[in-house]
Structure 1
Amino acid sequence: MATSPPILPSEALRLAADRLASARRSFERGERGLRQLRRSRIPFINSLRNTGLTYVQARAKYDRCLDEQQRLHQQTTHALSYAERLYGTLCAQINLDEQKKAA
């Protein structure tokens, strides 16, 4: 079984930075989406009522949609936190390695 060559620290840092940037974009999209969903509560419920649902059914459907979006956003928040920690760890490790080389 062949093993892949180790990743250079600079390449690992670039990959971590890309992951962090992607996680930030996803987090920001989620924030905007949740704000928009909350602002559009009444029109959302009314549009569901136009499909024949009662107010209670439409409100329950909106609430489930909001809960699901909040759950997904929580996952994105965790992914962002992990990406920030990973990037910070790699930066600290590279700085430590550079300090050892300089000494």
Structure 2
Amino acid sequence: MNQLTNLSSAEISAQHEQDAKDLTRILPASKKVYIEGSRPDIQVPMREISLTDTPTGLGGEHNPPVMVYDTSGVYTDPNVQIDLDKGLPSVRQNWIE
């Protein structure tokens, strides 16, 4: 049986708001960046993760940031307004036509 079946509409609304916050929260020690794909209209979401310095006998050795593919897409982009009810924009529509 679905867990939402026994919840009131206020509880469902509160859960929806919490889900939206969880899905769009900013991730610590990193920032969202986009890399241009094979076409100018393709922007690949990446995450630049800051690393702490490696401790050494003389203080610390700087570690450059690490770039990884960001599977969250636009959901963790602070510049994008996310509406979970509408879903994501149809960015592939022009490719299909």
TM range (shorter): 0.3 to 0.5
TM-score (norm 2): 0.35
More helix by share: 1
Q: Which structure's CA Rg is the greater one?
A: 1
